[in-house]
Structure 1
Amino acid sequence: MKLKNILIVVKDIEKSRQFYHDLFGLDMVLDNAGNMILTEGLVLQEEKIWKKFLEKNVVPESNSCELYFEEHNIEAFAEKLERLYPSVKYVNRLITHSWGQKVIRFYDLDGNLIEVGTPM
């Protein structure tokens, strides 16, 4: 068995596609009417579809999982994030852990948690 994709729920699929392209360089592979596959295996699904399948509400900022990205030049990434998305909600701005790794954590446009860290 093989893990194929990670799916996150979004309100506005086009705004989310742009967000993930702007910050992480992810491009659309397939657009299937409310389900969009991006490069690196990230799938965006419109909230109304998710709610219909699950018959449950979406809980933004649930802090139960995160998308993790690595970036060598994390200072430049933090500047780009602030410039392109100044209203983004941070969990923590750029910090350095005791083991030397620099990380930044924030929520995407729909409350999905993202961490960007320097490679270990």
Structure 2
Amino acid sequence: MKLKNILIVTEDVERSKKFYKDLFGLEVVSDNDGNVILTEGLVLQDKNIWKSFLDREIIPENNASELYFEEKNIEAFAEKLDAYEIPVTWVHRLMHHSWGQTVIRFYDPDGNLIEVGTPM
């Protein structure tokens, strides 16, 4: 068995496609009416469709999981986030870990937690 994709829920699929393309360079692989597969295996699922599958409430900013990306020039990426047309909600800005990695954490427009760190 192998892991194929990671699915996150979004209120606005078009906004999320733009967000992940603009900031992370992810491209659309397939787009099927509320279910969008992006490069790197990220799947965007329309909130109403996902809610109908689960029959449960969707809880943004639940901090139970995160998407992790790596970026060599993390300071420039943080500046790119600050200048982005949709303000992000920061969990924390540049944090320097004792093992030498620098990371930032923030939420995407739907409250999905994202970490960007320097390569290890």
Short-chain TM bin: over 0.9
For the pair 1:94 / 2:102, whether they are aligned, the reply is: no
Aligned residue runs from structure 1 range 26-105, under 5 A? 26-85=26-85, 87-105=87-105
For the pair 1:17 / 2:17, whether they are aligned, the reply is: yes
The percentage of aligned residue pairs carrying the same residue is: 68
- Give a deviation string over 1:63-115, Cα, whole Å, max 9, x none: 00000000001111001011014621011011211211100000000000000
What amino acid sits opposite 2:111 in the alignment?
G
Give the aligned length.
120
Worse-matched range after superposition: 61-70 or 85-94: 85-94
Aligned residue runs from structure 1 range 108-119, under 5 A? 108-119=108-119
TM-score (norm 2): 0.97
Worse-matched range after superposition: 89-98 or 58-67: 89-98
CA RMSD of aligned residues (A): 0.8
TM-score (norm 1): 0.97
Q: Which runs of 5+ in 1 are unaligned?
A: none
Measured in 1, the distance between the counterparts of 2:100 and 2:87 equals: 28
- The structure 1 segments of at least 4 consecutive aligned residues displaced by more than 6 Å after TM superposition are none
